[in-house]
Structure 1
Amino acid sequence: MEHYYRELVSFLCTRLGSRQAAEDVAHDAYLRVLERTDSQHIEHPRAFLYRTALNLVVDRHRRNRVRQTEQLDGLEVDASCSGQELQQAFQLDQRLTLMQRALGELSPVCRDSFLLRKLDGLSHQQIAEQLSISRSLVEKHIVNAMKHCRVRMREWES
């Protein structure tokens, strides 16, 4: 299924107008498809991948539309944190610790590919040049890192 990656990114790029946004959606789509293939067989993987990606594009568009219409002056700012907010912050901190642990299990080049993409926002080509590896290897490392982290997070959280 990895051989559809470039085709999917090109397809998404025309809809989103940004290669980086297209790559992000493609990564998320691959993750969802890979998660599903762990538990059940997909009869038409290419069609399923494209449908998943298009659904993600629609979700992204809806989120952006909501953000644009939200009035900042209508939002109430409360200086005090509620117990629920503190609990959420604690859970987020725990998840971050688990994510760091999962990333520590990856090979250095796999981890670096993932972090350069997700934290630094570098393109696949820029990462390939920086790490002196091929662009397709960068793509594989990022997908593998995302899948590994998702699987490990599920294992540890359950």
Structure 2
Amino acid sequence: MENYYRELVRFLNAKLGNRQVAEDAVHDAYVRVLERASDTPIEQPRAFLYRTALNLVIDGHRRNVTRPVEPLEVLDSEERFHGPSLQSSLDQAQRLDLLQRALAELPPLCRESFLLRKLEGMSHPEIAEHLGISRSLVEKHIVNAMKHCRVRMRQWEAV
């Protein structure tokens, strides 16, 4: 299924006009497919992957369209009065701690690829050049890091 990665990014980029959004959707699609609960083999992996990616893009678009637009002043004033509760701040801090632990378990290049993409917003070619590795290896590292973090977070939160 990894053979379809670049092809799917090109396809979504042509549809969306935004390579970064296309790459993120493809990453998420790969993670969804890898985390599938079913033991039944996928008969048409290319079609399944395309459908998963398109569904993620559609879902993301629906979320963005249905979100009401509020003036910044209103959001600022509401946040002062309705800031996160102490409990949700603790939950977020605990989740961040768990995420840091999961990232620490990754091999260095895998972790660095993921962080450069998600925190620095670097493109795959930029990461590949920065780390001196191939673009396909960068793509594999990012998908593996996402899958590892999701699996570990679920394991730790279930305890």
Q: Which residue of 1 aligns with 2:12?
A: 12
Structure 1 gap ranges (5+): none
Alignment map for 1:53-64 (pairs within 5 Å): 53-64=53-64
Q: Give the ranges of 4+ consecutive aligned residues of structure 1 lying more than 3 Å apart after TM superposition.
A: 73-76
Deviation at 1:49, TM superposition (A): 1.0
Deviation at 1:66, TM superposition (A): 3.0
Distance 1:51 1:105, change over 3 A: same
Q: How many residues are treated as equivalent by the alignment?
A: 155
Deviation at 1:78, TM superposition (A): 5.2
Q: Which residue of 2 aligns with 1:154?
A: 154
CA deviation digits over 1:55-111, x for unaligned, max 9? 1111122222234x52326666153457x7322221111111000000000111110
Alignment map for 1:68-107 (pairs within 5 Å): 69-72=68-71, 77=78, 79-81=80-82, 85-107=85-107
Q: Which residue of 2 aligns with 1:40?
A: 39
Question: What amino acid is aligned across from residue 49 of structure 2 in structure 1?
Answer: L
Matched residues in 2 for 1:78 and 1:97: separation? 24
Matched residues in 2 for 1:63 and 1:17: separation? 19
Q: Which residue of 2 aligns with 1:128?
A: 128
Give the TM-score taking structure 2 as reference length. Answer: 0.89
CA deviation digits over 1:29-70, x for unaligned, max 9? 11111110x543233222111111111111122222234x52
Matched residues in 2 for 1:56 and 1:15: separation? 13
Distance 1:129 1:32, change over 3 A: same
Q: CA RMSD in A?
A: 1.9
Q: Which residue of 2 aligns with 1:139?
A: 139
Give % identity.
66
Question: What amino acid is aligned across from residue 57 of structure 2 in structure 1?
Answer: V
Structure 2 gap ranges (5+): none
Q: Which residue of 1 aligns with 2:3?
A: 3
